[in-house]
Amino acid sequence: MVQDMNSADLQELVKSSAVPVVVDFWAVWCGPCRAQGPIIDKWAEGLGDKVNVVKLNVDDNGDYATQLGITSIPTIVTFSGGKEIARGVGVQDEASLNDMLSKA
């Protein structure tokens, strides 16, 4: 299940997670973000506890998004071991999400 997070909780999760963390940076007003949502929700269902899939609303949590250099949304970022390992800008299909996760 994909959960919404705030910047502080996400930063802690990225640092401490024993499994990869996939973050969907989005905003309510963003049409492509609304298209990405169901794709990432469906994709996350099949992963179980092998990965943490979360969303971060950039309007409410712009500090962390800015720190990571997020300039376009949707942007999907995969972290492993506390470090960014893959990034996709724009709507990503399930194959692209799997490819990003495979780098973990």
Mind telling me the catalytic residues? 30, 33
* DSSP states of the chain: --EEE-HHHHHHHHHH-SS-EEEEEE-TT-HHHHHHHHHHHHHHHTTGGGSEEEEEETTT-HHHHHHTT--SSSEEEEEETTEEEEEEES---HHHHHHHHHT-
